[in-house]
Amino acid sequence: MNNNFANVNTVNIALLSVGTELLLGDTINTNLSSLGQILYSNGFILSSEITVPDNKENIKDEFLKLLKNNDVIITCGGIGPTEDDFTKEVICSSLNMNLEVDDEHLSWMKSRWESRGLSMPETNIKQAEIPVGSKKLNNSQGTAPGILINHSGKYIFILPGPPREFNPLVMDQVVPLLKENFPKTNKDYEFVLFFNQAESSLADEINKFKPEGIDIAYLASKGIIKLRYDKNSVNEVKLNKFLNQLDTGFKDSIISYENIPASKALFNLLKEKKLTLSLVESITGGNLSSEIINFPGASSVLLAANTLYSNEAKKEYLSSNISDNWDALSKQLAEKSLEKYNSSISLAILGEAGPIPSSEYKIGEIFIAISNKKETVTFNHKLRGSREDIIARSVNNAIWDLINFIK
């Protein structure tokens, strides 16, 4: 490989995502997040990303802009067999490169169809076309090969769109080339997760003592604020003083010092304390329990989760009449769950998600009860947002209340 960039301080890496479905919201661009994570975990940072529709002029214009300003360009999507797949053709035309059929790859494609007792459609032939002078990259998960073009010392990867094909090619082909040809970033990001804080007021308080020059950023989502800082942007003495001040000032609001979901922090705490949990969910509809079962070993922590949406279901669960007061009802349900499953801790959550209330309570009014063998405590939260927002924030509030209860 060409080592023209071996002595540069940084490498600019861009992703060009192709697909009208991405812009319509029909498909979520998970390639962007996975690429960012893969690159950072291997010492590199994605510099920019552009998403374009299945339009030849748009693809050409944005590709040429990225080529001008970046050392590595990665494209995903638009190299399938159908008429709206022309990323490869547009890039080759932009670079004045010709395409030729790779007979070996074409034979391999035909054999795959024949093994299923079928004849390969003529439209698939274009997947075997490779730019003259490029390198074919083996795609172990699909028929369209990846392509690497070295153009005037810049590297262009043309990769398929499906994540199960895209991600292995990034790991197996892109990352090794980056490691061979470019120095790694000197950034080393760490994270602090906060709950029950407003982003602006949190930033104002931290500004009073943060060290000069620290690379810091905030990301707020559903009641949780993620503080990201570059530990290499200040010296060790200043960094340790900063972290100590964070811990002193916000100890009651910090979920974790790791870049993990709040549910993982809860899961770790339950494991550490050797506690078991049972849940009764209404407003969250199983979303709370699904957060916990994402982690291996969940069965050692979560004993049971009941989703009780209607009043009839709640009556049947309790084997009695239910209270019209949701604060009292959440308490009834939590204590019944504790008794029924003999868990260390139980939680019940009720509330109104909207958009039309089904009770006397206001939209966004949430009731949580947490019980153990010594006591039952209740919490009332007033949340705002869409139905989706309220449900997601209810899950996070339940996780936070559980963490605090256990601590």
pLDDT in tens, 251-272: 999 999 999 999 999 999 999 9
- Angle CA 345–348–350, to nearest 5: 165
> Which pairing describes strands 365-371 and 376-382: parallel, antiparallel, or unpaired?
antiparallel
Average pLDDT value over all residues in the chain: 95
Map out the domains of the chain as residue ranges: 13-181, 189-256, 262-406
Task: Sort 204 into a burial class: Cβ within 10 Å, 0-12 / 13-18 / 19+.
Answer: exposed
Domain boundaries 13-181, CATH class: alpha beta
pLDDT of residue 9: 54
Q: Which residues contact 113 (CB under 8 A, 6 or more apart)?
A: 119, 120, 124
- The full DSSP string for 89-151 is HHHHHHTT--EEE-HHHHHHHHHHHHTTT-PPPGGGGGGGEEETT-EEE--TTSSSPEEEEEE
HEC string for 170-230: HHHHHHHHHHHHCCCCCCCEEEEEEECCCHHHHHHHHHCCCCCCCCEEEEEECCEEEEEEE
Predicted model pTM: 0.81
Give Cα separations from 63 to 86, 156, 204 (angstroms): 13, 10, 40
The predicted-structure confidence for 166-182, as pLDDT tens digits, reads as follows 999 999 999 999 999 99
Q: How confident is the model at residue 232 (pLDDT cuts 50, 70, 90)?
A: very high
Domain boundaries 189-256, CATH class: alpha beta
The predicted-structure confidence for 34-89, as pLDDT tens digits, reads as follows 999 999 999 999 999 999 999 999 999 999 999 999 999 999 999 999 989 999 99
What long-range pairs does 240-247 form, CB within 8 A, spacing at least 24? 241/211, 242/209, 242/210, 242/211, 242/214, 245/209, 246/192, 246/206
Domain boundaries 262-406, CATH class: alpha beta
CB atoms inside a 10 Å sphere around CB 380: 13
